[in-house]
Amino acid sequence: MTLRIYVPADASALSVGADLVADAIAAELAARRIEAQVIRTGSRGLFWLEPMVEVATLTGRIAYGPVDVADVPQLIPALLEGAPHKLKLGNPDAIPYLARQERLTFGRVGVIDPVSVDDYRAHGGFKGLEKALAMKPAEIVEEVVASGLRGRGGAGFPTGIKWRTVLGAQADQKYIVCNADEGDSGTFADRMLMEGDPMILIEGMTIAGLAVGATQGYIYIRSEYPHAFRTFGRAVEACRKAGLLGTRIAGSDRDFDITVRLGAGAYVCGEETSLLESLEGKRGLVRFKPPLPALKGLFGKPTVINNVLSLAAVPTILADGAKTYADFGMGRSRGTLPFQLAGNIKYGGLVEKAFGLTLGEAVHDFGGGTLSGRPLRAVQVGGPLGAYFPADYLDTPLDYEAFAQRRGMLGHGGIVVFDDTVDMAEQARFAFEFCAKESCGKCTPCRIGSTRGRETMERVIRGEHIADNLTLIEDLCRTMTDASLCALGGLTPYPVTSAIEHFPEDFDRPRAHRAAAE
Amino acid sequence: MTKHPARAWDQATARTIIDSHRAEPGALLPIFHALQDTFGYVDREALPLIAEALNISRAEVHGVMSFYHDFREEPAGRTVIKICRAEACQAVGCQGLVDHVEARHGIALGETTADGAVTVEEVFCLGNCALGPSAMVDGKPLGRMTREKLDHLIAAARTGRQ
Q: What is the mean pLDDT of each run of 10 residues along chain A (518 residues)?
A: 93 98 97 95 98 96 97 94 93 97 97 98 98 98 97 88 98 98 97 98 98 98 98 98 98 97 97 98 96 97 98 98 93 92 98 95 98 98 97 95 94 96 98 97 97 98 96 98 96 98 91 49
Q: Considering CB atoms only, which of B68, B95, B141 is closest to A264?
A: B68
Strands (DSSP E) along A263-362, which ranges? 303-307, 329-330, 333-334, 336-343, 349-354
Q: At what angle do helices B11-21 and B28-39 cross, to 10 degrees?
A: 150
Calculate the CA A434 to chain-centre distance.
20
Nearest CA in chain A to B66: A283
Q: Which amino acid appears at position B151 of this protein?
A: D
Asked whether the beta carbons of A351 and A404 are under 8 A apart, the reply is no
Those residues with Cβ within 8 angstroms of residue B78's Cβ, 6 or more apart along the chain or in another chain: B4, B116, B117, B118, B157
Strands (DSSP E) along chain B, which ranges? 79-84, 118-123, 135-137, 140-142
Residue B161 in this model has a pLDDT that exceeds 70: no
> What is the per-residue pLDDT across A345-374, written as a single tens digit (0 to 9) for each?
999 999 999 999 999 999 999 999 999 999
**CA geometry: angle at A441 spanning A438 and A443, to 5°?**
120
Q: Is the dihedral of CA A489, A490, A491, A496 positive or negative?
A: positive
**CA geometry: angle at A143 spanning A140 and A147, to 5°?**
145
Asked whether the beta carbons of A125 and A200 are under 8 A apart, the reply is yes
> In the prediction, which pLDDT does B6 show?
66
Is B129 flagged in the annotation as binding?
A: yes
Q: CA-CA distances (angstroms) from residue B67 to A385, A439, A446, B38?
A: 21, 10, 16, 21
> In the prediction, which pLDDT does B4 show?
57
> In the prediction, which pLDDT does A515 show?
46
Beta partners for residue A61, in sequence order: A56
pTM over 0.80: yes
> Which of A476-484's residues contact partners 24+ apart within 8 Å by CB, and which partners?
A476/A449, A476/A452, A477/A453, A479/A445, A479/A449, A480/A445, A480/A446, A480/A449, A480/A450, A480/A453, A482/A445, A483/A443, A483/A444, A483/A445, A484/A443, A484/A445, A484/A446, A484/A449
Beta partners for residue A176, in sequence order: A217, A304
| Cα B153 from Cα B113, distance rounded (Å) | 14
For residue A16, list chain B residues with Cβ-Cβ distance below 8 A.
131, 143-144
> In the prediction, which pLDDT does A426 show?
97
Three-state SS for A129-191 is HHHHHCCCHHHHHHHHHHHCCECCCCCCCEHHHHHHHHHHCCCCCCEEEEEECCCCCCCCHHH
Query: Residue A229: which of A295, A275, A268, A178 has the closest Cα?
Result: A178
**How many CB atoms sit inside 10 A of residue A200's CB?**
31
Overall average pLDDT of the B20-44 stretch = 97
Asked whether the beta carbons of A232 and A259 are under 8 A apart, the reply is no
Overall average pLDDT of the B102-123 stretch = 96
Q: What is the ipTM score, two decimals?
A: 0.96
> In the prediction, which pLDDT does B2 show?
46
The Cα of A116 is separated from the nearest Cα of chain B by a number of Å equal to: 24
Q: Assess B125–A contact: CB distance below 8 Å, yes or no.
A: yes
> In the prediction, which pLDDT does A516 show?
42
- Residue A218's H or E segment, with its range, is strand A216-221
> In the prediction, which pLDDT does A470 show?
97
CB within 8 Å: A226 and B32: no
- Residue A60's H or E segment, with its range, is strand A60-64
Q: Is the dihedral of CA B18, B20, B25, B30 positive or negative?
A: negative
Those residues with Cβ within 8 angstroms of residue A401's Cβ, 6 or more apart along the chain or in another chain: A331, A332, A333
B110: left (phi over 0), alpha (psi -120 to 50) or beta: left
For residue A183, list chain B residues with Cβ-Cβ distance below 8 A.
124-125
The Cα of A227 is separated from the nearest Cα of chain B by a number of Å equal to: 9
Query: Residue A7: which of A224, A17, B157, A59 has the closest Cα?
Result: A17
Q: Assess B73–A contact: CB distance below 8 Å, yes or no.
A: no
Is B94 flagged in the annotation as binding?
A: no
| Cα A479 from Cα B129, distance rounded (Å) | 32
The Cα of B158 is separated from the nearest Cα of chain A by a number of Å equal to: 22
Q: Is A514 helix (H, G, I), strand (E, B) or coil?
A: helix
Q: Assess B128–A contact: CB distance below 8 Å, yes or no.
A: yes
> b/e map of A469-498 (b: 16 or more CB within 10 Å)?
bbebbeebbebbbeebbbbbbbbbbbbbbb
Query: Residue A384: which of B96, B86, B85 has the closest Cα?
Result: B86
A298: left (phi over 0), alpha (psi -120 to 50) or beta: beta
> In the prediction, which pLDDT does A239 show?
98
Those residues with Cβ within 8 angstroms of residue B32's Cβ, 6 or more apart along the chain or in another chain: A264, B42, B64, B65, B68, B70, B71
